[in-house]
A and B are shown apart, each in its own frame.
Chain A
Amino acid sequence: MAEFVHLLPQVTIDGLLLGFVYAMVAIGYTMVYGVLEFINFAHSEIFMVGAFIGAELFLILKKAGILSGMPHILVLVLGLLAAMLITGLLGVLIEKVAYRPLRGAPRLVPLIAAIGVSFFLQDFMRAVATTIHGNFVTGVPELFNRQMVPLPGGLTMSVKAVLLIVSALIMMAALTLFVQRSRSGKAMRAVAQDMTTAGLMGINTDQIITLTFFVGAAMGGAAGTLFAVQYTAVDPYIGFILGIKAFTAAVFGGIGKLPGAVLGGVLLGIFESYGSAFMSLATKGAMGAEYKDVLAFALLILILIFKPSGLLGQDVSDKA
């Protein structure tokens, strides 16, 4: 047990980092679900594309020899903006091509199309990455030169990690402001509540759905870039499992609720990190991190059985 306490700060930080990535991705699931009641299965691949865009931008800057000369915070912001813009447009494109023509069809139809989009994007990025680098695993240049920040209690945390959490918090705050205060955000909430009535009140629902996809995908893309900076390697398969977990986080927090996605993401990250550390200690290393995905999926099943509305959601069992 003493060992566990000793590990606690590191495990908590790992869990928090992962949790914020989950939270950012979960926002995309929850926004689209809130409006269309549809699981955008391809969202995990949008995250992956975002990671690649960030990574490629850093690589281009490095190749041009200006990466070391620029302030790294500016590089990070550039990467985030590029990733958000491109993945946002990608999200809109996917919606136009694959989902919009299927609106009104039985539920399984758009879901199957979304699975198709997900596989297509994954393999497409594999092909692109292999063509450019000869290998689909792409190394990301190290930003912030492994600088550390001292924390109270004699602990340290890398600058990257701090910036991941800070940028995630800023973006989530901006999103909340947008949804709560702006005119479009109000329209978005109206459409999520009742699409037909919102349409009757003069809201262009198609436009709002496009906007929802753009914003959700942009958050996912930003999460991808932050992931790339933090973990310094990206490949086309990073999205798959992470996407399921982010969806778990969205359900955990209460699907359709933005604060729920954030809460669920952070809690899931910490749960997973603690769970695998504890398991590994309890079984003396025989079982450990390789079971963290099993833990997350088991959690998903348990939530869906016992509290399908999630932590912050209302009861949607009629819808569910």
Chain B
Amino acid sequence: MNWLSRLLHDPRRAPIFLIAYTVAASVLMYIFALNFETWFFVLLLTSLLFLHLGNANRWLKLGLAALVIAVVIPLTGQENGALLNVSIMICINIALALGLNVVVGFAGLLDLGYVAFFATGAYVYSIFASPQAPRFLPHLFENLPMGLPGDYFWLFLPVAVFAAAGAGIALGLPVLRLRGDYLAIVTLGFGEIVRILANNLDKPLNITNGPQGITPIAKPALFGISLGKPVHFYFIGLVLMLIAITLIRRVENSRIGRAWAAMREDDVAARAMGVPLVKMKLMAFATGAAFAGAMGMVFAVKQTFINPESFTFMESIAILAMVILGGLGSIPGAIIGAVTVTVLRMQVLTELANWLTQFHLPPALNLAKYQPLIFGLILIIMMRYRRHGLLPARRHFVDIDALTADSPEPAPTAPARGA
């Protein structure tokens, strides 16, 4: 792999390689769209990875990435709906992984109930934009037997974000004093409580419709134009995901991001330096939850059906596996992790399972069912052999010895600037 890394770092050859690879990959992706779905995603993943690592003009890289994401995927999606479905899930999962990465990676708070916030967002919209709300609020919804129309999707986005963030703060408040591992168990319990509530709040008042779930959920619409096709969901998810990436990139090295890092490394020292721990922890929970809330809505309209089965502990662990695989605290890592795990779950395992059926293996060996086993192995192996993930977070180190050695006077050598 050495030649590849040299090629990607060479400022003259890298841009040519990137253009050639991305264009070739795009063409192949279009050709593969119908038959070789796994290869489609391998090409997608590699081209994005090379674009991330390659040494070339920023705008060139962004343009090439835009070509793949905004042109090739929607075009191929017209041919093969399943591909588009996986792509929407990728967008959703990237935002989820980024959100969890804020809580676990930046702030160092292990949250095992993250899917609860996703569920909050999904349920907040689904209850009101479906025949569910008219069922338990018949007076308010007298003229709306199908619930609110899809135009309310946009209004509900901030509502879902705030509801999820509120849930994040509600979870954060009681557990603030707890150390990492206790916190993990409590968040796990919280996630289960949310799922159990969703499962059982069909009586005495039917709010969530219990295990039967809620359907049909109104598809989003803008000024009366329905945005109900998978391509529309893809672009909604994509835009929200890009907003998430931008926000998190901005926050990472901001005052808040640095406070989180300080808190993660040593909370006593951070407090001594004046980091308000309570505020920062709550902020991490709320930020992480907010992304999940927004994406919960996208998930709900994509599925047009939700029930508690979509929000199990397994889902929380799947999102955790994405973050761990990519690298705790690393934004590109979370993205790559989300793409890999999603494609693995939705594409590779199913295809492998289909391929294996020709050998007439017993149904117990159906690979598609082995997701928990694979997530478990990912977690164990990553922790043992590559704790910082596939694309580790770049830390900014300051070499204090070098600084003091270069300066003419011994330390302390930092006069107050502007004095």
Is there a chain A Cβ closer than 8 Å to B115's Cβ?
no
Task: Report if B320 contacts A (CB, 8 A).
Answer: yes
Contacts of A39 in B (CB 8 A): 181-182, 184-185
Residues of chain B contacted by A287 (CB below 8 angstroms): 200, 203-204
The yes or no answer to B63 lying at the interface (CB within 8 A) is: no
In the assembly, what is the distance between CA of A317 and CA of B179, in Å? 9
Q: Kindly report which residue of chain A lies nearest to residue B265, judged by CB atoms.
A: A106
Whether B174 and A117, one on each chain, are in contact in the complex, defined by CB atoms closer than 8 angstroms, is no
Contacts of A291 in B (CB 8 A): 196, 200
Contacting pair B185 A120 (CB below 8 A): no
Chain A proximity of B121: nearest CB distance (Å): 21
- Give CA–CA (A131, B365) in the complex, Å: 8
Inter-chain contact B186/A283, CB cutoff 8 Å? no
Contact, CB under 8 Å: A116 / B182: no
CB distance from B202 to the nearest CB of A (A): 10
A interface: dominant SS = helix
Please report the C-alpha to C-alpha distance between residue A27 and residue B196 in the assembled complex, in whole angstroms.
27
Contact B377 A116 (CB under 8 A): yes
Asked if A116 contacts B179 (CB within 8 A), the reply is no
Q: How far is the CA of A186 from the CA of B27 in the complex (A)?
A: 70
B200 near A130 with CB under 8 A, answer no
A127 in contact (CB, < 8 A): yes
A-B contact count (CB 8 A): 140
Chain B residues with CB below 8 A from A319, complex form: 179
Contact B383–A110 (Cβ < 8 Å): yes
In the complex the two chains form, is B184's CB within 8 Å of A116's CB?
A: no
- In the complex, what residue of chain B is closest to A300 when comparing beta carbons? B189
Question: 8 Å CB contacts to A: which residues of B313-336?
Answer: 313, 317, 320, 324
Q: Judging by beta carbons under 8 Å apart, are A101 and B384 in contact?
A: yes
B108 contacts partner chain A, Cβ-Cβ < 8 Å:
yes
**A202-239 CB contacts (< 8 Å) to partner B:** none
Partner pick for A112 among B174, B185, B204, B324, CB 8 A cutoff: B324
- Once the chains bind, are B196 and A290 in contact (CB under 8 Å)? yes
CB B288 to nearest CB in A, in angstroms, measures: 15
The interface size of chain B toward A, counting residues with CB under 8 Å, comes to 48
Residue of A nearest to B203 (CB): A286
> A124, A241, A251, A297: which contacts B373 (Cβ < 8 A)?
A124
B185 CB, nearest partner CB in chain A, Å: 6
**Which residue in chain A gives the minimum CB-CB distance to B110?**
A108
**Do B376 and A120 touch (CB < 8 A)?**
yes
- B186 and A300 contact, CB distance less than 8 A: yes
Task: Please indicate the chain B residues that have their CB under 8 angstroms from the CB of A294 in the complex.
Answer: 193, 196-197
Q: Establish whether residues B364 and A127, one from each chain, have CB atoms under 8 Å apart when the complex forms.
A: yes
CB atoms of A111 and B192 under 8 A apart: no
B177 at the interface (CB under 8 A from A): yes
Chain A residues within 8 Å of B371, by CB: 123
* A2 CB-CB contact with B under 8 Å: no
Q: Does B378 contact A (CB under 8 A)?
A: yes
A273 in contact (CB, < 8 A): no
Q: Is A113 an interface residue (CB 8 A)?
A: yes
Nearest A residue to B197 via CB reads A294
Bound-state CA distance A297–B187 (Å) is 10
Contact of A115 among B112, B362, B365, B384 (CB under 8 A): B112
Are B377 and A111 in touch, CB under 8 angstroms?
Answer: no
Q: CA–CA, A26 to B175, complex, Å?
A: 22
A113's partner among B174, B186, B317, B383 (CB-CB below 8 A) is B383
Check: A119 CB closer than 8 A to any chain B CB: yes
Contacts of B363 in A (CB 8 A): 130
15 CB < 8 A contacts A-B: A98-B384, A107-B181, A108-B104, A109-B383, A112-B324, A117-B380, A118-B376, A119-B375, A122-B376, A131-B364, A294-B196, A294-B197, A297-B193, A301-B186, A304-B174
Binding site for B on A (CB under 8 A): 38-39, 97-98, 101-102, 105, 107-113, 115-124, 126-127, 130-131, 134, 240-241, 244, 247, 251, 283, 286-287, 290-291, 293-294, 297-298, 300-301, 304-305, 308, 317, 319-320
Extra 11 A-B pairs, beta carbons < 8 Å, given A120-B380, A290-B199, A304-B175:
A39-B181, A107-B179, A108-B108, A112-B383, A113-B383, A115-B379, A130-B364, A286-B204, A291-B196, A301-B175, A319-B179
Binding site for A on B (CB under 8 A): 104, 108, 110, 112, 174-175, 177-182, 184-186, 188-190, 192-193, 196-197, 199-200, 203-204, 313, 317, 320, 324, 362-365, 369-373, 375-380, 383-384, 387
The 10 A-B pairs of least Cβ separation, nearest first, read: A116-B379, A120-B376, A119-B376, A297-B189, A123-B373, A130-B364, A116-B380, A123-B372, A113-B383, A131-B364
